[in-house]
Structure 1
Amino acid sequence: MNRRSFLKKAAGSLLALVGLSGGTYYYAREIEPTLLEINNEIITSNKISPAFNNFKIVQFSDTHIGFHYTNEQFKELVTKINKQNPDIVVFTGDLVDEPHQFDWNYDLVESLRSLKANHGKFWIYGNHDHGGYGTEIIQSVMDQSGFTLLKNNHTTIELDSERIVLAGIDDVMLGQPDIEAALDNVNPDLFTILLAHEPDIADTAVNFSVDVQLSGHSHGGQVRFPFVGHLYTPAYAEKYVQGKYELGGEKLTLYVNRGIGTTRLPYRFLCKPEIYSFTLESGKQM
């Protein structure tokens, strides 16, 4: 959808909110965007070794700092993530809204650096990270913050000589994603998590040895109405919008994160911001 079509739909949703009541509009703009939900999920698989029982992965996505979301708010988010005591933290793209207009300073690096994870912090590019000539800037900020970029490659997390695989691809819209390269030489017997900003790429990922895909990008639609659902989602988030999906006869589980911030228009309605806290559980008999 081009910008004109988006704004036309967005204007329609704005009028709908205003039409409900001024109070509803105020809630959607000022209240709901601050109502963070922490969604706890248990991921069970026979491919997960007992060594990884209770291993915790926290995912956050789509902060869009600079557009109705400040670094002060991000600092509060960091505190909430740290309280989850994650073993790894993963960020699935769109750090700031417009990299070429953002007031880059050390505060953001300091906030990102203060995120704590026992076994590492990892990230992938989103479309806004590549947009506005932000590609190199974002990578520099994340490098300084102790995050490892997964761009068409993978890493292994090891505990007691047992391993899981964490892979990531470049952004689908503005990058050069390559799932095959990301999974090159990965042992298919190892439990594998794929980070991909755009959720609809799951229809391709299901053909590979991927057990779980973590995505963002959709914002859950930002605005949802009872019996109607979301009014709009961007390209590559039109099929899978929010929550959990099973693909390929449960071969692949996809989780679509509604994200933290907003973009284009600064409100959420019946679509609260969220982070995911995943706890791994071995399906093997002890």
Structure 2
Amino acid sequence: MKLRKKLVHTAATGASLAAYLYSQNTRFQTTHYRIPIHQLAVENVGIKVAQLSDLHFPYIKINQNKLIQKLVQEQPDLIFLTGDQMDAAEPERWYELHTFLKRVSAIAPSYAIMGNHDHVNPNNEAIYQGTGVTFLNNQAESITLPDRLPLLIMGVSEPSFVAKRKAKNLIKKVYVRPEWQEQTKLLLAHRPELFEKYQADAEKAPDLTFSGHAHGGQVRIKGIGGLFAPGQGRLPKHTAGVFSLASDTHKKLVVSRGLGPSHFPLRVNNRPELVIVTLVRE
């Protein structure tokens, strides 16, 4: 009898653990931030940005229909895809992402950049053609939403190995017209650990940077945060949440935990995340 109870208890514990891990890796949650922007125009207060990061198609495990439904419900003004839309392991399956991007861009103006996985994908141009998503590769675009003042949206490409370590200015290649320089600047940049290098040029320095890449540190512990992130190593600093630049606290960084899996097989205490940012006056 005791053995039977022990076996039942063990089975129940195993089933609970399996259900927990399944939920952690397949059910996304939505995180809302209200981020103050220095000198934000009154007309642009309340602009809402949805951030989708690290989808890793075709390995994405969350329910795509539910994600689209949630985006429709949130009614964002802009949608940013901050890299690693594709997984480098199967670049030939890009058509699955292509179909998804069409659904995203039908909701709101959408912008995307490369991550380290996208960088090695030979189908990058084909992925975005005809989807309605604007692909920014070291480029900037000024956009005026209905009843708003212009915003500047910038996107940097995945930096080279040398640039990540030696270059001081990772926004150097982005051309910003003189008449755009006073606009609120939003930057899509995949790697959060390079936050300071996106701020090197005072005339182009973004007010708010959107990043991913860290996958939330993979395993998160309360009071500690993530345990490991590529490019940051153990106990990384930038894995999720909102950060301020040490030298200028007006400059902000928001880091998404991402929506897809990494090569590490499991998320623990670290569900996939849809980020919704609302711009407010500082």
**CA distances 1:208-252 after superposition (whole Å, capped 9, x unpaired):** 322111000000111123455322110157442211111123131
Q: Equivalents in 2 of 1:100, 1:175: separation in Å? A: 26
Choose 1 or 2 for highest CA Rg. Answer: 2
Q: Equivalents in 1 of 2:65, 2:148: separation in Å? A: 35
Of the three residues 70, 86, 90, the one matched with 1:80 is: 70
Of the three residues 199, 202, 205, the one matched with 2:195 is: 202
Aligned to 1:114: 103
Q: Which amino acid aligns with 2:268?
A: F
**CA distances 1:124-180 after superposition (whole Å, capped 9, x unpaired):** 00001123xx1x413311222111111111111214572111101001356978402
Q: Equivalents in 2 of 1:118, 1:34: separation in Å? A: 23
Q: Which amino acid aligns with 2:182?
A: D
1:198, 1:236 within 8 Å by CA — same for their partners in 2?
no
Aligned to 2:119: 130
User: So what's the TM-score if we normalise by structure 2?
Assistant: 0.80
1:206, 1:251 within 8 Å by CA — same for their partners in 2?
no
* Root mean square deviation, CA, Å: 2.7
Please state how far the C-alpha of 1:203 moved relative to its aligned partner.
Answer: 1.4
Task: Output aligned runs, 1:134-153, within 5 Å.
Answer: 134=121, 136-153=122-139
1:167, 1:195 within 8 Å by CA — same for their partners in 2?
yes
1:30, 1:267 within 8 Å by CA — same for their partners in 2?
no
Of the three residues 134, 142, 155, the one matched with 1:156 is: 142
Please state how far the C-alpha of 1:111 moved relative to its aligned partner.
Answer: 2.2
Residues 280 and 24 of structure 1, relative CA distance in 2, 3 Å threshold? same
1:199, 1:236 within 8 Å by CA — same for their partners in 2?
no
Q: Equivalents in 2 of 1:43, 1:31: separation in Å? A: 29
**CA distances 1:178-224 after superposition (whole Å, capped 9, x unpaired):** 40222533544221111100001111123332211100000011112
Please state how far the C-alpha of 1:29 moved relative to its aligned partner.
Answer: 3.7
Residues 176 and 83 of structure 1, relative CA distance in 2, 3 Å threshold? farther
Residues 98 and 191 of structure 1, relative CA distance in 2, 3 Å threshold? same
Of the three residues 205, 220, 230, the one matched with 2:216 is: 220
Of the three residues 56, 69, 72, the one matched with 1:64 is: 56
Aligned to 1:3: none
Of the three residues 186, 192, 217, the one matched with 2:185 is: 192
Aligned to 2:63, the other structure's residue is in SS state helix
**CA distances 1:25-53 after superposition (whole Å, capped 9, x unpaired):** 52464111123121111233343222222
Aligned to 2:154: 167
Which stretches of structure 1, 4 residues or more, deviate above 6 A after TM superposition?
174-177
Aligned to 1:7: none
Q: Equivalents in 1 of 2:162, 2:136: separation in Å? A: 13
Aligned to 1:240: 238
Residues 260 and 175 of structure 1, relative CA distance in 2, 3 Å threshold? farther
2:57, 2:97 within 8 Å by CA — same for their partners in 1?
no
Q: Aligned pairs, how many?
A: 257
Q: Which deviates more from structure 2 when the two are superposed, residues 194-203 or residues 49-58?
A: 49-58
1:172, 1:197 within 8 Å by CA — same for their partners in 2?
no
Q: Which amino acid aligns with 1:274?
A: E
Q: Which amino acid aligns with 2:196?
A: D
Aligned to 1:11: none
Q: Equivalents in 1 of 2:198, 2:98: separation in Å? A: 32
Please state how far the C-alpha of 1:103 moved relative to its aligned partner.
Answer: 3.0
Aligned to 1:65, the other structure's residue is in SS state coil
Q: Which amino acid aligns with 2:264?
A: L
Q: Which deviates more from structure 2 when the two are superposed, residues 39-48 or residues 253-262?
A: 39-48
Q: Equivalents in 2 of 1:89, 1:35: separation in Å? A: 20
Q: Equivalents in 1 of 2:38, 2:94: separation in Å? A: 45
Residue segments in structure 2 that go unaligned for 5+ positions in a row: 1-12, 165-169
Q: Which deviates more from structure 2 when the two are superposed, residues 253-262 or residues 161-170?
A: 161-170
Q: Equivalents in 1 of 2:20, 2:215: separation in Å? A: 14
